[in-house]
Amino acid sequence: MKLKKRILGKDLEVSAIGLGCMGMSHAYGPPSDEKKMGELLAAAVDMGYTFFDTAEVYGTPEDPHHNEKLLGKALKPFRNHIKIASKCGIRFDESSEKVNKPLIPDGRPERVKASAEGSLRRLKTDHIDLYYIHRVDPDIPIEETAGAMADLIRDGKITHWGISEADEETIRRAHRVCPLTAVQNRYSMMYRSYESLFDLLEELSIGFVAFSPLANGFLTGKYGKGSRFEDGSDYRSIMPQFSKEGMEKNRELISRIGELAEEKDATPAQISLAWMLAKRPWIVPIPGTRKYQRLAENEGAARISLTEEEVKAIDHMLDEVPMSQVFGGTGTAKEKGGK
């Protein structure tokens, strides 16, 4: 059975669950084997995934554009049947010694357009289906960035645009210049602050793409106190939910999700994704993985139905159960102390 479809914005049809590809190249240890990832991406297409997410900065210091190049090669045979999303507007502060280096935003129109040209080459395509400004640049009016996106749409280089980690005022201002198709923000059972935007997105017919929908994999329930992550290249080594204290504090949460999964003959990850899909018909999670088993498991979440009452009960549980802080994203060098 092929994955169900959802519509982002006015008309961008994508699989109800997308594939976040960042982890194949960045943030979860050294990049994976290119051949194996190519096979995984082909398997995803065969399962019905039609929505693949990348960005120009997903790579390593040695190969900063690794992920786009990987997708460009692996997905070229399927290009007419899939949608590719990429992002521009940030670079890493390489002078920092932090594991997750601060981001330096750059929303200048000339930078947006130059980045699009580079992404088109690396992705081996003549258009990008959804192109995001990866972070809002506080020094550039969002109207100028939106104007550059409008130019790219007019020229046929992108067909839709989106924005990531933006507040309501910024979304409204951007949307007035060039209608947004999607907002991509962090969202999971452990990070729900952006639910405050849902009424706005409904009003403006903007889709919501949820990244880190499993709290960086923590909500799979597969991790314990003995879990180890590579220092320096695996962000999980510094994420609070994976710390010894975090594991202990989140024990009841993981147990409760496990109970829900048993009731539905599902896995904890599937319950987490099904809960999100049941919230709004225009929410599309993009969990990432390097493993076929996890790819198939995530795909199965789209076939699990939760009633409105079940979703409310889960929300109530999430309001009451103790949980640790969760990784909130990489801060920008222009924000004091980052996020």
Q: How far apart are CA 279 and CA 274, in angstroms?
A: 9
**Can you list the alpha helix ranges (DSSP code H) found in the chain?**
34-47, 66-75, 109-122, 142-154, 168-177, 198-204, 244-249, 251-263, 268-279, 292-300, 308-320
CA dihedral 262, 311, 253, 233 (to 10 degrees): 100
Q: In whole angstroms, how far apart are CA 217 and each of 101, 258, 289, 303?
A: 21, 14, 9, 20
Interatomic CA distance for residues 138 and 244, integer angstroms: 36
- Cβ of 294: how many Cβ atoms within 10 Å? 19
Residues in the chain: 339
Catalytic residue chosen out of the listed positions 28, 49, 58, 187: 58
Is 49 an annotated catalytic residue?
no
Distance CA 149, CA 9 (A): 16
CA 251 to chain centre: 25
DSSP code per residue over 260-283? HHHHTT--HHHHHHHHHHHH-TTE
Residues with a catalytic annotation lie at: 58
